[in-house]
Amino acid sequence: MPASAGPDMGDEATRQANRLFLTTRAACGADHVLAIDVTLGQPSGFAPVLGETVAPRTGHTLYLAMSGVTSTPPKAIGVGTQWQGRISFMAESARIISIGSDGRRGAWTPMSGGEIYAVDLAYRQGWTARVSELAFLTNLGRFAKARRPTCSEIPAG
């Protein structure tokens, strides 16, 4: 890593942000697609009975396809060997579909574009990152797990 902040640090920050973005998104054709596996809570009550093992109830998978994805140049403050900044990812448009664990399929529904992902990066003797995900994914909390889908599993349409 360079000893001073500058264009090289910004380029490396962009590489770090792109790597993080693609850990949960697949580039499939013109779209970047995120799969969100949603499980349901306990069948009844607040918690399982002591000593019982309750398997999570299956739910559905949401596929979010984002088109026209671009990232902002790093907005950074660099001083000596330290660097920090934010890189945002924007989508021109998006669409979403739900596939139930029982095979039921919804229809692709358009969504508005805008900021879809952001990474706050810092370099101080190594890189650290804090990711800001889509609000609706964050709101699903422990019931949702984002993952990188394979392009072949994404529903056509």
Give the structural domain span for 26.
Answer: 7-42+56-149
Q: What is the mean pLDDT of the chain?
A: 83
Tens digits of per-residue pLDDT, 77-110? 766 668 888 999 999 999 999 998 878 889 999 9
Q: Taking the chain, what is the end-to-end CA distance rounded to the nearest angstrom?
A: 44
Q: Is the pLDDT of residue 152 over 90?
A: yes
Distance CA 77, CA 6 (A): 9
* 47: in domain: no
The phi, psi pair for 20, rounded to 5°, reads -65, -45
The burial of 67, by beta-carbon neighbours within 10 Å (0-12 exposed, 13-18 middle, 19 or more buried), is given as middle
* 117: in domain: yes
* 18: in domain: yes
Distance CA 38, CA 5 (A): 42
* 120: in domain: yes
Number of domains forming the structure of the chain: 1
* 51: in domain: no
Tens digits of per-residue pLDDT, 112-121? 889 999 999 9
- Global confidence as pTM: 0.78
Half-sphere exposure of 77 (CA within 13 A, CB side): 2
